[in-house]
Amino acid sequence: MTLWHVVLVASVATAALKFVGYLVPAGFLERERPARIADLLTIALLAALIAVQALGAGQALVVDARIPALIVAAALYAVRVPFVLVVAAAAAVAAGIRAVT
């Protein structure tokens, strides 16, 4: 599987999902349990991606400059700094720590 296959299959599958919502009659996912699971899936996947992105190095877990950067990012989100500025600040913190260590 090349990266192009991954990009195309995932793009078509994800775009197709958007059409499903318009084609099927309202009902199934409006019910409480499926709607709740769909919401929580988004949260679980994003949290898992944060953990892997902040701690993973291949199959090892490594604590490095990413952790202080993530803490700074959380503090900035807490005081409602816009997304783009927070992402740039996180990159700057990690790059700064790496430059001096």
Partner 1 sequence: MSAERARVVRDGLAVGLATAAYGISFGALAVAAGLDVWQACVLSLVMFTGGSQFALVGVIAAGGAAAGPAAIASSVMLGLRNVVYGMRMSPIVRPTGWKRIVAPWWTIDESVAVALAQRAPALQRVGFWVTGAAIYVGWNLTTLIGALIGDALGDTSAWGLDAAAAAAFLGLLWPRLKSVQAGAVAAGAAVVAALATPVLAPGLPVLVAAVVAVVVGWWNLFGRRAEQAAGA
Site for partner 1 in 6-35 (CB under 8 A): 6-15, 17-22, 24, 26-27, 29-30, 32-33, 35
Which residues inside 43-62 make contact with partner 1, applying CB under 8 A? 43-56, 58-61
Residue 91 Cβ vs partner 1, minimum distance, rounded to whole Å = 4
Q: Which two tokens stand for residue 54?
A: 């902040």
Binds partner 1 (CB under 8 A): choice among 1, 79, 100, 101: 1
* CB-based contact 99:91 (threshold 8 Å): no
CB of 81 to partner 1, least distance (A): 10
C-alpha distances out from residue 54 to 9, 12, 68, 91, 100, Å: 27, 29, 10, 12, 20
SS3 60: strand
- Report the alpha-carbon distance of residue 39 to residue 33 in Å, rounded: 10
Please give the residues from 61 up to 90 whose contact with partner 1 meets the rule CB under 8 A: 61, 65-66, 69-70, 73-74, 77, 82-84, 86-90
